[in-house]
Each structure stands twice: as structure tokens, then as C-alpha cells.
Amino acid sequence: MTVLLVALGAALGAPLRYLVDRAVQARHDTVFPWGTCTVNVLGSLVLGVLIGGAAVGAVSGSLVAFLGVGLCGALTTYSTFGYETIRLFEDGARRAALFNAGISVTAAVGAAFLGVTLAEALWA
């Protein structure tokens, strides 16, 4: 059953990633990958809320499998982040590449921490 929940979540997360990425990127006239950064930070926040809720017993393991592993796993993308960072560097946009690496990691970890903190405050 858990594998089915993960697959269903991933089936929702992958197209959601594509749609959010395209919508965000269309609003910016820049080579900076704002769409990928957005989905990674958003997914980290959602996963933080789920894990924080699970830690205090307010979120079930099934919901963590469906939304956390499935949806957030497909929504976020470390491989695209890596590729886009290297592409920026190779295209001569070294400052943008360093900014992408720094802001993506910092914001995603911060969002996960914020999510856990919010969940524990709400459900503890």
C-alpha cells in the first residue's frame, strides 16, 4: 500500500513541478532558474511541515508517504538544480551560479526548518 501512495503522490508532484517551474520562470526575464528554486523551497517547506507533524503524532505515516515521499519527492529536483547551476557557470554567469547554489540550499534548508517549527507549534 505504501508504494502505491508514493506512486500516486509522485504522479501529482511531477506535473506540479513542471507547471510551477514554467509559471514562475515565465514571470522572470532572466537566465536565473527561479522556477527550480521555487519548487525546491516549496517542497522543503511542505516536507518540513509533514515531518514536524509526524514527529508529534499529528500526521500519519501514510500521509508522509503520499505527500512527503511521493509528492515532495517528485516536486523537488536536486538533479535539475545541479544541472542549472553548472549550466550557469559554463555559460559565464558565475555569480548567478554561486547565488543559485547558495540561495537554493539556504532557502530550502530554512524552509524545512520553518516547516518543522510551524508544525510542532501547531500540533504539539
Would you state the pLDDT for residue 5? Answer: 98
43 is in an annotated binding site: no
Greatest CA separation for the chain: 48
* Span 28-52, pLDDT tens digits: 999 999 999 999 999 999 999 999 9
CA proximity to 6, closest of 54, 74, 88, 95? 74
Q: What angle do CA 56, 78, 39 make, to 5 degrees?
A: 65
Q: How far apart are CA 107 and CA 123, in angstroms?
A: 24
* Span 55-85, pLDDT tens digits: 999 999 999 999 999 999 999 999 999 999 9
Domain boundaries, the chain: 2-123
pLDDT above 70 as % of the chain:
100
Residue that the C-alpha cell 559554463 belongs to: 90
Cell numbers for 93, please give them. Answer: 554567469
Other beta carbons within 10 angstroms of residue 13's beta carbon come to 23
115 is in an annotated binding site: no
